[in-house]
Chains A and B, each alone.
Chain A
Amino acid sequence: MDTDLSSQDRKDLDKFIKFFALKTVQVIVQARLGEKICTRSSSSPTGSDWFNLAIKDIPEVTHEAKKALAGQLPAVGRSMCVEISLKTSEGDSMELEIWCLEMNEKCDKEIKVSYTVYNRLSLLLKSLLAITRVTPAYRLSRKQGHEYVILYRIYFGEVQLSGLGEGFQTVRVGTVGTPVGTITLSCAYRINLAFMSTRQFERTPPIMGIIIDHFVDRPYPSSSPMHPCNYRAGEDNGAVYPSVEDSQEVCTTSFSTSPPSQSVFTVTKAHFQTPPPVVMDTLKVPVMGLAFSHQLSSSRLSYQPAALGVGSADMGYPVLFAGGLNAAHPHQLIGPGKEGGVPPTPSQPAHGTQADQERMCTPLDGVHYSAATPSSSEDTETVSNSSEGKCGSPHDLLETIFIRKVGAFVNKPINQVTMANLDIPFAMFAPKNVELEDNDPMVNPPESPETESPLQGSLHSEGSSGSSTGNTHDDFVMIDFKPAFSKDDILPMDLGTFYREFQNPPQLSSLSIDIGAQSMAEDLDSLPEKLAVHEKNVKEFDAFVETLQ
């Protein structure tokens, strides 16, 4: 029995794994560039498309990957990892994802290398293409620009997941068994997007000797939202990479339809002249704060210039609240509640009451996705709820100004943060600290207009009059909706309050069932009289009909 791999098979397998690793890195990095990727199908094989997939090779990325691999291949205990992180314009950075290409010892000796393994690697790359669009970092990377950039780093060796915060989630892209081991591709992604204030001025120390240059911001015109799928040829960024080196190997695979053992596999080497490299690894991003492009956040954030404290504070809040609200949403019609463990209370310097801290931190499950999306809905909802919760409260917007100076992405309740003096411009627009209790429906049942909607129908009985959409989740502090420049000192009503109050108009009385039920009996009783009247006027009606014809 011949269970050993023939030398040709061994060579082929090594080559497949090497190019699979390189293509994996390309797919991941390209998925985080912030632009839509588009490649063409080609019916005639060009010979240079590994795994029969059109995946462009960004030379710089290939160079980095090869440097990290340093001639080795992923093996047991030596994994290839691509770390995706976010860096704000203020210099704070946070790891978002780690993609790991690992090899374990479980071998599949029976499998055919040049046929089955190759096709399965191709399938795995397709799965990777699909999964890279599904993790939270994709949405973040599509919105990068002035305020933050998405960076990548490739390293080889042991996987290090400690930078992902607590409660990170893992998704497995797939596995492929080979005669020398099983290749596994997976992604661990952060779900706790709160940024630790202590890390404000720290940089992640380089691991495995990777130079910190990779985090250096390079000039990249990020104002245009959509970039063409092809390279920016001709753009010189000062870093010239050796073109394709010695071994840009071309894979011309021929397959045999008769028993796979007869497959003919030809590989030829060719040199390719690559276009001048394009800087793709670091992209400057305009938005200050994570993906909070909702007007709510951006209108406020845009008035927070680089003042470190408060600007960051704003970023902290949406993350926190969005997560909380989303988790507590009972929206059952869409499906089961969010899964994902509840991240334990982050250890922060203790300020404020314990009770507040517990209340704030529990709803953070599922924050990974809600925080990544423009948390517009939750914010808008709570905005409207807060207006219902405190009916006469427009005055509050003018009166109390609590300015807290906190670090970026602080994930703790406002109460816990030390109060600081008012030292930032546009202080009036800073998020107001609303007392938790005021918004708690348990304490203060809100007076809200009736709204009937299918959502409510499924969640509350018809008799409950005090319910309006989304009431059940407003036991968290929320951000006040402060539209830019809308404050009017004369009237207590500003645009935001106006919008909130009239957003959910009361149900039309004719449509409400109670009144309808009552008048039904009356309607029925009055019918005979009405009929008699109409019969008397029958001649008039006939004449009228005649005129119409």
Chain B
Amino acid sequence: MNCRAEVLEVSVEGRQVEEAMLAVLHTVLLHRSTGKFHYKKEGTYSIGTVGTQDVDCDFIDFAYVRVSSEELDRALRKAVGEFKDALRNSGSDGMGQISLEFYQKKKSRWPFSDECIPWELWTIKVNVVNLANEQERQICREKVGEKLCEKIINIVEVMNRHEYLPKMPTQSEVDNVFDTSLKDVQPYLYKISYQITDSLGTSVTTTMRRLIKDTLAL
């Protein structure tokens, strides 16, 4: 099937990068996480409960809702932190993009390793701006807050199209569809990667891949 791709663009100040990215990623993952599955006999399963919490941003006039899962939050913060550092250290004019990809694993026969088939890709393009004084920063706080509100509405709109979602898996297949490593929630399998664009517009070789579950290649 084709992978559904959505692109969002934001212009933020350096210190807002982390919060803006977390807001978008958490909102996407809120919609793409379920409770933990508990399989019972006869092929039935029950689903745990997902809690939510409000997060206020310090550098942006904005608040968002995320899944109540410290593990998930840590994982996202780690990825976003690396992205932010790469943006800062790249020496470019502050352009880059971070991608959140949802994929399914397809078991292949030996000797081939499992395939990862993406079914949804969210790309957030970031443009970091430098501001001269406090007035501009204050305006930027509010503007970025408004922009993020628009992005949240966009995300919700996409989610609401009810387009392709992987079929609910059997117990043996659950790890091919969901990330079962977290103890309180169960997001779809995802990976986060980023790219920094240097000032020439070509992408530099700083791509990081983070696999949640290592493929059980023989």
Contacts and interface: CB of A to CB of B under 8 A. Distances in A.
A334 B131 CA distance: 12
Contacts of A131: 152-153, 156
Contacts of A127: 31, 156, 159-160
A377 B157 contact: no
A78 interface: no
Say whether chain B's binding surface is mostly helix, strand, loop, or mixed.
mixed
B136 A455 contact: yes
Interface in B145-177: 145-147, 149, 152-153, 155-157, 159-160, 162, 168-171
Given A331-B139, A376-B138, A254 B52 contact: no
A133 B63 CA distance: 6
Contact of B65 (A40, A43, A133, A258): A133
Contact of A124 (B36, B44, B160): B160
Contacts, number: 202
A255 B184 contact: no
Nearest to B48: A43
A256 B171 CA distance: 10
B118 interface: no
Nearest to A132: B65
A141 B34 CA distance: 29
Interface string A114-143: 000000100110110111011100110010
Given A257-B170, A377-B139, A130 B145 contact: no
Interface string B3-36: 0000001010000000000000001001100111
**Residue among A42, A176, A381 with max Cβ neighbours from chain B (10 Å):** A42
B61 A46 contact: no
Contact of A255 (B50, B65, B155, B168): B168
B171 to A, nearest CB: 7
Interface residues of B, number: 65
A262 B44 CA distance: 9
A174 interface: yes
A53 B138 contact: no
Contact of A36 (B34, B40, B53, B61): B53
A123 B159 contact: yes
B68 interface: yes
Contact of B63 (A53, A138, A377): A138
Given A41-B184, A43-B48, A454-B132, A126 B30 contact: yes
A172 B9 CA distance: 21
Nearest to B12: A334
Interface in B36-80: 36, 38-40, 42-54, 56, 61, 63-65, 67-69
B169 A257 contact: yes
A376 B61 CA distance: 12
B132 A453 contact: yes
Contacts of B146: 338, 369
Interface of B: 9, 11, 27, 30-31, 34-36, 38-40, 42-54, 56, 61, 63-65, 67-69, 129-133, 135-136, 138-147, 149, 152-153, 155-157, 159-160, 162, 168-171, 183-185
Interface of A: 36-46, 49, 52-54, 120, 123-124, 126-127, 129-131, 133-135, 138-139, 142, 171-176, 252-258, 262-264, 329, 331, 333-335, 338, 369-370, 373-374, 376-378, 380-381, 384, 451-455, 469-470, 503-504
23 contacts: A36-B63, A37-B53, A38-B51, A39-B52, A41-B49, A42-B184, A45-B35, A54-B49, A54-B68, A126-B30, A131-B153, A134-B149, A253-B46, A254-B45, A255-B44, A256-B43, A257-B168, A257-B170, A334-B147, A377-B139, A377-B141, A380-B138, A453-B132
